[in-house]
Structure 1
Amino acid sequence: EDANGQFEMNWEFDDALATADKHSFFKFMVKSVAEKHGLKATFMPKPFKGLTGNGCHCHISVWDADGSQNAFADPSAELGLSQQGKCFLGGIMDHATALAAITNPTVNSYKRINAPRTTSGATWSPNTVTWTGNNRT
């Protein structure tokens, strides 16, 4: 991603359980390989004060039962987002404060939010509940 030795890992979309398994296995594998080479790997949100922290985000889509129609997509709508997608997004935004207890489960998580500018000049961490077509935080 942004800090030294930091990488973004992506894999092809899948159902929620398979994706959670991939996520857990990936973290286990990285830590195991690092340890084998006498190194430490961390997924802490903010391990170093002056460097960009680590994040973990997911992309969510909802499809109809046969998997042919994305419920959030509407090519004719502004930014291609359907009314159902806007309602879903509104629900996430309405409950964002409560969701923070799940998405930021440790004290270290909050060290990443509102962290001072890093060497790269970015924190890539959301600190407000907002939405735009290309909000990178």
Structure 2
Amino acid sequence: MTDTDATEAGPDDVEFSLNWQDEDGALKGALQARNVSEHRVRLSGKPHLIPLDADGNPLEAESIMTLELRLPGYAELGPGESATSQVGWAGWDGPAAGGIVRIEWSGGQADVPAAGPRQPSETGPATNLWSSWFDTDA
């Protein structure tokens, strides 16, 4: 491995923050990943979001993954750099969300406290979560 090679980010390499805003009853927001390691890391693919209930159990909210092609299919971050994925949650008609969202990515998972509303006020018919590719922050 050379100095410019990046390894897939693991749970100890990145720190996430999630900010939701209400938009006509749905939630839209930004998931930011910051490289807190001392080496270059890669975030491959799109993050998968799983809202948790007040007891820390996953809610049965579906996350959809669209299959548009993006080359390269990853973002690389140097130490201290960050990347953001735009995220959303269309609606929810189930048990109350607890304000923590589990983020899963190729290198691991992390439970992240979300700033803003805990769940959408819209109840459906669509109740899907979605996420976009990570884009490096300027």
Q: What is the TM-score with the length of structure 1 in the denominator?
A: 0.26
- If you compute each CA radius of gyration, which structure gives the higher value, 1 or 2? 1
Structure having greater relative contact order (Cα 8 Å, sep ≥ 6) = 2
